[in-house]
Structure formats: structure tokens, C-alpha cells
């Protein structure tokens, strides 16, 4: 029963921990590797115009849930203007208004977008078949003939549209198609023609405009694209050759055959788009994303703490890992140490001194301290004053070593100040008792054991990958807890016992 209980508890801990980690990795996009970065794009629309007097209104279309991208952050730079955003039709728009303005006006809209998933499509519901327009003769018969021809060469809505587009773009279009092709038509006109022809086959289609995200594009011109609804989602189609899909790094900005900028009481409108690439720490992006998704999980996380406190927890959260190592080395391997968790504290101070320096300094201090402690034995002091005396001596020794090494130009000696001196004093005291009561060999053995355990836990605790994982996913500590609980029920032999009991083997 008890065994079952523990198993359940361990399973619960493991499942909780792993599912939170899974959620944070897949949904919020927290990075599993340290120093992972993601691409961010800062896109900017610059609007300029000349007011003609009176209250000015400027309407700018804004990107709204662009397929494949997420908007992290957006802001408007428009001093002296009232700002509202509203939906109109399929688009989201910013309305800038001001009562009086004079001179050339410049307004900015700036958004930070990140790539969400490459092949995202707009899965808005099917708007239903459209009514067939009246093209007027001779266009109507030509359109019907063209559509019949295309229908014979296609399988479904998407391929129908593809074939139609490539037909219209053929170098030598068929007679029927040629009627609809104008040599010098703009992209917008081409797409409009295609949409109206598709309507002849009752296929809903629309025009979209977007910009291509390329690094340092000061003047990104909007690209016009075609979309047809295949009854499940809007499929993007290249209006030049009929292939499906958006161009690479295409940020969809607005829908329909409208101008991006509409002005009232203003002239000479000008709009330009600019793109900059921004490399962000993946953690920041994930955090912002979580905020947008209103995820409580991240709101109440370590990232919400001040940076200094965060850095402290980066270290503190590694202590459980060190504790687990201690459990392994003591209960499974069977190494003896002074004090149960003294090695973890020593390992923490190794972070500052580095391994070799730490080991040397530790050995130095403890040996010197031991010598002085043996001398004090002759003075026959009471326990607490003697411990205090050892602490005082240890501090003085540390200072002396720091000064000496500094003068010798060994900067590592300076980090000594971070050694936990009280722990050192206790170690010296315990070691001297073992030395006298048991044997010097025992004392040295346990001292080396402590040092070895400290070194091993240090190596685990400075592992960057591990530190990153534990800090970004503190719920992993539940796994550490689960493992510790499991080890708490280990009643098998320790490795050192295999040597200790070797006399029981057949002689």
C-alpha cells in the first residue's frame, strides 16, 4: 500500500512537471536550449499628407491576425491626433483625427511581428457561392467558354483557380482568355479580373495585399495576391503563375480592392512601408506571447521578478540538483562526507572560484585551520568559544590568502571571500574530532569525500544547459523531487558496500 502510494505520488509529480514543460515548449514557445533567438520583424507604415484645412481624418488599414505571423506589439506615433481602431469589412483600420492641422503631417504605425508557423492560412468560414456577374457580350460567352475549358482541366476549386491564372498569364493566351488580358495591367487589375472570372464559376475569391519581410527594406512596396476559398480555408494563389502559397516572408496587411490609406480634407497622400529585422531572446518573445495569450502560468513565474532576484534564483534553483547528487553519492555510491549538505554549499562557492582554484583554496584553508585547531586543543577551551575562535581564524586566513595572492598577481585568491566561512569552521571542527577520536585516515578520507562530492555537484550545477532548463522550467524541480523520493525508498546495497563486505565472498 505504502509502496503504491509513493508510486502514485511520483507519477503525479512527473506528469505535472512534464505536461507543464510540454505546454510551455509547444504553446508558449519557451526555448529548450540556452541563448536561443527568434526572428522578429519590426514593420512600419509611414503616412504623410498635406491638410487642406478643417478637421483631418486619416484611415489606415492595419494587419489583423496575418496568417503565419503573430503581432507582439504595436504602437502609433501621431502627436496631436485622436486615435481609434475599428473594423471595416474584412480589415482593421486606424482612424486618426484632428481638428486642425497645418503643414505636412507624418503619422507612423509600427508593429513587431514574429513568425508563428510557416504554412498558416486564414480558415475563415466559407462565405457561400457568389452570384455569377453579367460580363456583357462578347465577354460573357468568352468567359463561359474559358471557364468550361478550365473546368475540364482541373480537379477542385484550388486547381481551377490555378489553371485559370496560368491561362491568363500564358505568353500566348487562348482566344477566349486574350479578351481579358491587358498587356500593361497592374497586379491589382489582374487580380480583379481573375476574381471576376472566378465569380463566373461561383467561386469566392478575394484580393489581399501584404509586404515581404526582408531585412532593412526602407521602401517595401505592397504585393497584391489572390486568395480563393476552397470551402475550408482561404488558399493563397500567385496571380502571376497560379502556384499556391504566399511569397516567402509575406505579411498580409489588408484585404480587398481598396487603398490602404484614405484621407479626408487632405491632399498628396503618401504611404510607405519599412521593415527591420530584430533578433530577440527567445525567452522574451515567449514571455510576450504568453502575455498576449493571457497565460497565468507565466505571469506568476520567475520572469516576473526583478532581474537581480532572477539571477539569485538562477543559482538557488540549482541547489536541489546538488542535493540530488548528494543523495546519489551518499546512498547509492556510499561516499562519506562531513555534514550532509556541506558539499553543496562548497560547490556553490566553487561557482565563483572555479573548480581548481576552489579545491586548492578549500584544502589550504582547511589544512591551516586544522593546524590551528590542534594547537587550540592544548588551550582547553569550551566548545562554543573554540568554534568562534576557529571562525575568527578562518576569516583572518581568508583575508591573508586574498592579500597574498593579490600581491602575487593570482586574482583567483580574491574570490575566496565567497567561501562560507562558518561552514568551513564547522568542517574544521568536525574533521579534528574525527581525526582524534577515530583516525587521521578517516578524517582525510571523509575530507576528500566531501571535496569529491562538492566537485561533482559543482560540475552539475554549472552545466549551462541544465541551469537554463531549471530556470526556464522550474517545474522540472518536481522531477528532481520525484527522483529524490524514489531514492528515499532504495534499500539496495551501496557501491562501497560491495568492497566493504568483500570478506563475505568465498575465500
Partner 1 sequence: MGRWFISPWELRRRGVLGMNARNGAFIARYNPRRNYPLVDDKLQTKALALEAGIAVPELYGVIETQQQIKRLGKLLEGREDFVIKPAHGAGGDGILVITGRMGEGFRRANGKLMDLEGVAHHAANILSGMYSLGGQPDKAMIEYRVQFDPLFEKVSFQGVPDIRTVVYRGYPVMAMVRLPTREADGKANLHQGAVGAGVDMGTGETLRGVWHNRVIDQHPDTGAPISGIPIPDWSRLLRLAAHCYDLTDLGYLGVDVVLDRDQGPLILELNARPGLAIQIANDEGLAHRIAQVDQRLEALDQAEDAEARSRWAQERFARKD
Site for partner 1, rule CB under 8 A: 331, 334, 380, 382-384, 433, 437-439, 442, 488-494, 497-505, 507
Give 215 or 497: the residue with its C-beta nearer to partner 1: 497
The sign one gets for the Cα dihedral 152, 158, 164, 169 is negative
Given a contact cutoff of 8 angstroms between Cβ atoms, the answer to whether 244 and 158 are in contact is: yes
Shortest distance, CB of residue 72 to partner 1, whole angstroms? 53
CB atoms near residue 504 (< 10 Å) = 7
Shortest distance, CB of residue 316 to partner 1, whole angstroms? 26
Give 118 or 438: the residue with its C-beta nearer to partner 1: 438
Pick the closest to residue 207 from 251, 160, 258 (CA basis).
Answer: 258
**Measured distance CA(375)–CA(424) in Å, rounded:** 17
Shortest distance, CB of residue 505 to partner 1, whole angstroms? 4
Give one DSSP letter per residue of 393-410, joined into a string.
Answer: HHHHHHHHHHHHHHHTT-
Give 124 or 433: the residue with its C-beta nearer to partner 1: 433
> Any residues with CB less than 8 A from the CB of 288 and at least 6 apart, and which?
72, 73
Give 356 or 498: the residue with its C-beta nearer to partner 1: 498
Give 145 or 487: the residue with its C-beta nearer to partner 1: 487
Shortest distance, CB of residue 335 to partner 1, whole angstroms? 12
Give 123 or 436: the residue with its C-beta nearer to partner 1: 436
Q: What is the three-class DSSP state of 84?
A: strand
Shortest distance, CB of residue 382 to partner 1, whole angstroms? 6
Q: Which three cell numbers stand for residue 218?
A: 526602407
The sign one gets for the Cα dihedral 368, 373, 378, 381 is positive
Shortest distance, CB of residue 437 to partner 1, whole angstroms? 5
Asked whether the bond before 425 is cis by omega within 30 degrees of 0, the reply is no
Give 126 or 501: the residue with its C-beta nearer to partner 1: 501
Shortest distance, CB of residue 366 to partner 1, whole angstroms? 19
Shortest distance, CB of residue 445 to partner 1, whole angstroms? 11
Shortest distance, CB of residue 485 to partner 1, whole angstroms? 13
Measure CA of the first residue to CA of the last residue in the chain; give whole Å. Answer: 41
DSSP 332: I
**Measured distance CA(159)–CA(156) in Å, rounded:** 5
* Burial class of 82 by CB neighbour count within 10 A (0 to 12, 13 to 18, 19+): exposed
Give 159 or 331: the residue with its C-beta nearer to partner 1: 331
The sign one gets for the Cα dihedral 366, 367, 372, 376 is positive
41: left (phi over 0), alpha (psi -120 to 50) or beta: beta
> Kind of pairing, strands 266-281 and 82-88?
unpaired
Give 372 or 417: the residue with its C-beta nearer to partner 1: 372
Amino acid at each position: 500500500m505504502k509502496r503504491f502510494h509513493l508510486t502514485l505520488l511520483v507519477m503525479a509529480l512527473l506528469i505535472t512537471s512534464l505536461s507543464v514543460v510540454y505546454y510551455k515548449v509547444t504553446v508558449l514557445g519557451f526555448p529548450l536550449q540556452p541563448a536561443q533567438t527568434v526572428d522578429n520583424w519590426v514593420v512600419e507604415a509611414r503616412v504623410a499628407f498635406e491638410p487642406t484645412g478643417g478637421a483631418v481624418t486619416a484611415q489606415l488599414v492595419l494587419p489583423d491576425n496575418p496568417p503565419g505571423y503573430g503581432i507582439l506589439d504595436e504602437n502609433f506615433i501621431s502627436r496631436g491626433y485622436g486615435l481609434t481602431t475599428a473594423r471595416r469589412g474584412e480589415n482593421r483600420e486606424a482612424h486618426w483625427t484632428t481638428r486642425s492641422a497645418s503643414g505636412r503631417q507624418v503619422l507612423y504605425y509600427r508593429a513587431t511581428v514574429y513568425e508563428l508557423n510557416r504554412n498558416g492560412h486564414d480558415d475563415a468560414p466559407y462565405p457561400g457561392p457568389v452570384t455569377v456577374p453579367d460580363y456583357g457580350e462578347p465577354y460573357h460567352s468568352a468567359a463561359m467558354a474559358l471557364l468550361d475549358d478550365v473546368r475540364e482541366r482541373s480537379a477542385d476549386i484550388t486547381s481551377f483557380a490555378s489553371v485559370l491564372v496560368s491561362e491568363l498569364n500564358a505568353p500566348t493566351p487562348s482566344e477566349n482568355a486574350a479578351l481579358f488580358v491587358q498587356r500593361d495591367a497592374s497586379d491589382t487589375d489582374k487580380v480583379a479580373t481573375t476574381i471576376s472570372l472566378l465569380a463566373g464559376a461561383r467561386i469566392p475569391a478575394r484580393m489581399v495585399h501584404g509586404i515581404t519581410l526582408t531585412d532593412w527594406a526602407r521602401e517595401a512596396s505592397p504585393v497584391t495576391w489572390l486568395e480563393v476559398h476552397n470551402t475550408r480555408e482561404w488558399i493563397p494563389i500567385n496571380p502571376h503563375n497560379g502556384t499556391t502559397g504566399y511569397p516567402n516572408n509575406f505579411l498580409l496587411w489588408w484585404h480587398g480592392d481598396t487603398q490602404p490609406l484614405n484621407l479626408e480634407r487632405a491632399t498628396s497622400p503618401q504611404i510607405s512601408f519599412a521593415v527591420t529585422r530584430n533578433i530577440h531572446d527567445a525567452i522574451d518573445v515567449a514571455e510576450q506571447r504568453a502575455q498576449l495569450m493571457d497565460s497565468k502560468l507565466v505571469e506568476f513565474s520567475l520572469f516576473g521578478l526583478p532581474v537581480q532576484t532572477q539571477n539569485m534564483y538562477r543559482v538557488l534553483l540549482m541547489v536541489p540538483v546538488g542535493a540530488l547528487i548528494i543523495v546519489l553519492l551518499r546512498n547509492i555510491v556510499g561516499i562519506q562526507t562531513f555534514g550532509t549538505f556541506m558539499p553543496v554549499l562548497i560547490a556553490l562557492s566553487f561557482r565563483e572560484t572555479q573548480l581548481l582554484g576552489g579545491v586548492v583554496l578549500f584544502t589550504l584553508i582547511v589544512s591551516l585551520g586544522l593546524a590551528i585547531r590542534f594547537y587550540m586543543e592544548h588551550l582547553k577551551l569550551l566548545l562554543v568559544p573554540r568554534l568562534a575562535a576557529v571562525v575568527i581564524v578562518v576569516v583572518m586566513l581568508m583575508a591573508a590568502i586574498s592579500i597574498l595572492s593579490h600581491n602575487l598577481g593570482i586574482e583567483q585568491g580574491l574570490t575566496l571571500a565567497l567561501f562560507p566561512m562558518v561552514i568551513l569552521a564547522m568542517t574544521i571542527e568536525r574533521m579534528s574530532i574525527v581525526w582524534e577520536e577515530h583516525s587521521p585516515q578517516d578524517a582525510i578520507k571523509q575530507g576528500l569525500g566531501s571535496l569529491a562530492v562538492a566537485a561533482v555537484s559543482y560540475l552539475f550545477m554549472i552545466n549551462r544547459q541544465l541551469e537554463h532548463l531549471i530556470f526556464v522550467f522550474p517545474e522540472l524541480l518536481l522531477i528532481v523531487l520525484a527522483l529524490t523520493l524514489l531514492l528515499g525508498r532504495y534499500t539496495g546495497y551501496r557501491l562501497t558496500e560491495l568492497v566493504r563486505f568483500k570478506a563475505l565472498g568465498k575465500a
